[in-house]
Structure 1
Amino acid sequence: MMASLAVVLGVATVAGAQTQAGTGAAAKQATPPLQLQNLEPSTVPKDPFPPVNQKYFTATSPTVDTVNTFLKSLWGYDQNRIWRVEAIQKTQAPDVAKVIVFVSDKSANAKVQSTAFFVTPDGKHAIAGDTVIPFGATPFADARQTLEQHADGAWRGAPGKSLLLVEFADLECPHCKDAQGTMNQLAKDFPNAHIVFQPFPLTEIHPYAFKAAAYGYCVEKQNNDAFFSYADGVFNTQSGLAEGTADDTLNNAVKQAGLDPTAIGACANSQATKDQVNASIKLAQDLGVDQTPMLAVNGHLLPISAVPYETLKTIITYQAQQDGVSTGATAPTLGK
Structure 2
Amino acid sequence: MIHQLGRIASFALLAASTTTMVAVAQQDAPKQVPPAPAQATGAQAPSAPVATAEAPKFPAPDPKNFTASKPTKEEINQFLTASWGYDENRVWQVAAIMKTQAEGITKVVVYVGDKTGKQKPGAFGFFALPDGKHIIAGDDVYPFGANPYADARAKVQADANGPYRGSADKTLELVEFADFQCPHCKEAQANMDKLVTDFPKARIVFQNYPLERIHPQAKLAAAYGVCVTKLGGNKAFFTFADSAFEGQEGLNTADGAQLTLNSAVTKAGLDTAKVDACAKSPETSDAVEQSVKLAEDLNISQTPTLVINGRQVPVGGVPYETLKNIIQYQEKLDGISQ
TM-score bucket (shorter structure): 0.7 to 0.9
Q: CA deviation at 1:22?
A: 5.2
2:99 matched to which residue of 1?
90
Q: CA deviation at 1:135?
A: 1.2
Inter-CA distance 312–110: structure 2 relative to 1 (3 Å threshold)? closer
Structure 1 residue 247 corresponds to structure 2 residue 276: no
2:291 partner amino acid: S
Residues 256-312 of structure 1: CA distance to partner in whole angstroms, max 9, x if unpaired? 101111111111111111011011111101101111111011111001111111111
SS of residue paired to 1:296: strand
SS of residue paired to 2:111: strand
Q: 2:295 aligns with which of 284, 299, 305?
A: 284
- Cα contact 1:97–1:120 (8 A) shared by 2: yes
- Cα contact 1:163–1:326 (8 A) shared by 2: no
- Cα contact 1:21–1:100 (8 A) shared by 2: no
What's the Cα RMSD here? 2.0
Residues 26-69 of structure 1: CA distance to partner in whole angstroms, max 9, x if unpaired? xxxxxxxxxxxxxxxxxx99971111122211112111111111
TM-score with structure 1 setting the length: 0.86
2:87 matched to which residue of 1?
78
1:271 partner amino acid: P
The separation in 2 between residues aligned to 1:264 and 1:258, in whole angstroms, is: 11
1:160 matched to which residue of 2?
169
Structure 1 residue 238 corresponds to structure 2 residue 220: no
2:257 partner amino acid: A
Residues 196-215 of structure 1: CA distance to partner in whole angstroms, max 9, x if unpaired? 00000010011110011011
The separation in 2 between residues aligned to 1:291 and 1:266, in whole angstroms, is: 30
2:318 matched to which residue of 1?
307
The separation in 2 between residues aligned to 1:183 and 1:224, in whole angstroms, is: 15
Inter-CA distance 51–268: structure 2 relative to 1 (3 Å threshold)? same
Q: 1:2 aligns with which of 4, 11, 28?
A: 11
The separation in 2 between residues aligned to 1:258 and 1:170, in whole angstroms, is: 22
2:236 matched to which residue of 1?
226
- Cα contact 1:49–1:112 (8 A) shared by 2: no
- Cα contact 1:48–1:112 (8 A) shared by 2: no
The separation in 2 between residues aligned to 1:108 and 1:285, in whole angstroms, is: 38
2:130 matched to which residue of 1?
121
1:99 matched to which residue of 2?
108
The separation in 2 between residues aligned to 1:320 and 1:117, in whole angstroms, is: 27
- Cα contact 1:163–1:297 (8 A) shared by 2: yes
The separation in 1 between residues aligned to 2:336 and 2:108, in whole angstroms, is: 31
Q: CA deviation at 1:126?
A: 1.2
Residues 141-165 of structure 1: CA distance to partner in whole angstroms, max 9, x if unpaired? 1110000000011000111111110
1:51 partner amino acid: A
Identity of aligned residues (%): 51
Higher CA-based Rg: 1
Q: CA deviation at 1:107?
A: 2.7
- Cα contact 1:3–1:307 (8 A) shared by 2: no
Structure 1 residue 170 corresponds to structure 2 residue 179: yes
Q: How many residues get paired?
A: 304
1:194 partner amino acid: R
1:209 partner amino acid: A
Q: CA deviation at 1:104?
A: 1.2
The separation in 2 between residues aligned to 1:107 and 1:199, in whole angstroms, is: 40
Inter-CA distance 7–131: structure 2 relative to 1 (3 Å threshold)? farther
1:20 matched to which residue of 2?
39
- Cα contact 1:210–1:277 (8 A) shared by 2: yes
1:62 matched to which residue of 2?
71
SS of residue paired to 2:254: coil
Inter-CA distance 47–3: structure 2 relative to 1 (3 Å threshold)? closer
Q: In the TM superposition, what are the counterparts of 1:264-279 in structure 2 within 5 Å?
A: 264-279=275-290
2:162 partner amino acid: G
The separation in 1 between residues aligned to 2:242 and 2:330, in whole angstroms, is: 29
Q: CA deviation at 1:3?
A: 4.2
TM-score with structure 2 setting the length: 0.85
1:332 matched to which residue of 2?
none
1:211 matched to which residue of 2?
220
Structure 1: runs of 5+ lacking an equivalent: 25-43, 328-336
- Cα contact 1:164–1:195 (8 A) shared by 2: yes
Structure 1 residue 261 corresponds to structure 2 residue 280: no
- Cα contact 1:10–1:116 (8 A) shared by 2: no
Q: CA deviation at 1:20?
A: 2.8
2:160 matched to which residue of 1?
151
1:322 matched to which residue of 2?
333
Say which structure, 1 or 2, has more relative contact order (CA 8 Å, 6+ apart): 2
